[in-house]
């Protein structure tokens, strides 16, 4: 599977969001990552449907929506209608995960599940065959610009092993502290999608940084 980059607009300039999305459209980025935070599941609040709809209006690449919220089932259909191509929910926020995954698929979206740094990969054994994507959080979710957790390489390798036995075409995504120093090692460990926010938008040339990450 090709290496994909999903730049996160959480780190974009919200005063110039259209400009930044148009830059992503022209870049080697593959998806556009949209982080939804509710101030409950995570301590931060980001944005919701209006910003997602604006991103969809200007984007020519699929929106990769990550719901870091409690009770995400309430909003899956609305985010699908707002333009999400893929919807990822947090394992820790979904007591009836199989049903949640089915709702995502019924909405016509790629179904993903994210696991926090403290959640064992083994918790995915009974659901991985139903998933299109697993997102390994390499920081504690809620804020951009955090330091990468080194145990992530081991977790990515574990997801890769589980996928080979159950879902060989699984997207294995990593989000949190991804930059040019760890991108290559993450791909080697088994990841095939990297989310990058601060590393892209804080770079002197964001488009060039996306290319650097993609070909790491």
List, by residue number, the catalytic residues: 35, 175
Please tell me the distance from the alpha carbon of residue 55 to that of residue 90, in angstroms, as a whole number: 22
Give the CA radius of gyration of the chain.
16
- How do strand 110-115 and strand 4-7 relate by DSSP bridges? unpaired
Q: Answer left, alpha or beta for residue 141, where phi above 0 means left and psi between -120 and 50 means alpha.
A: beta
Q: b/e per residue, 3-21, with b = 16+ CB within 10 A?
A: bbbbbbbbbbeeeebeebb
Q: Which residue has the tokens 């040019």?
A: 180
Strand, coil or helix: 124:
helix
Q: Which helix (H) or strand (E) holds 209?
A: helix 206-214
Q: Is 66 exposed, middle or buried (0-12, 13-18, 19+ CB in 10 A)?
A: buried
């Amino acid at each position: 599977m090709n290496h994909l980059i999903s730049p996160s607009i959480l780190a974009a300039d919200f005063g110039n969001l259209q400009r930044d999305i148009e830059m992503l459209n022209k870049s080697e980025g593959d998806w556009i990552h949209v982080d939804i935070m509710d101030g409950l599941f995570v301590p931060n609040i980001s944005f919701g449907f209006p910003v997602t709809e604006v991103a969809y209006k200007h984007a020519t690449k699929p929106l990769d929506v990550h719901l870091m919220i409690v009770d995400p089932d309430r909003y899956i259909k609305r985010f699908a209608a707002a333009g999400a191509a893929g919807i990822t929910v947090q394992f820790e926020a979904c007591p009836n995960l199989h049903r949640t995954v089915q709702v995502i698929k019924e909405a016509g979206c790629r179904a993903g599940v994210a696991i926090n740094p403290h959640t064992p990969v083994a918790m995915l054994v009974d659901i991985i065959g139903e998933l299109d994507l697993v997102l390994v959080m390499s920081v504690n979710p809620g804020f951009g610009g955090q330091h990468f957790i080194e145990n992530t390489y081991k977790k990515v390798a574990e997801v890769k092993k589980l996928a080979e036995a159950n879902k060989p075409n699984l997207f294995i995504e990593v989000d949190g502290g991804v930059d040019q120093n760890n991108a290559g090692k993450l791909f080697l460990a088994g990841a095939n999608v990297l989310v990058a926010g601060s590393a892209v938008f804080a770079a002197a040339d964001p488009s060039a940084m996306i290319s650097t990450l993609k070909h790491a």
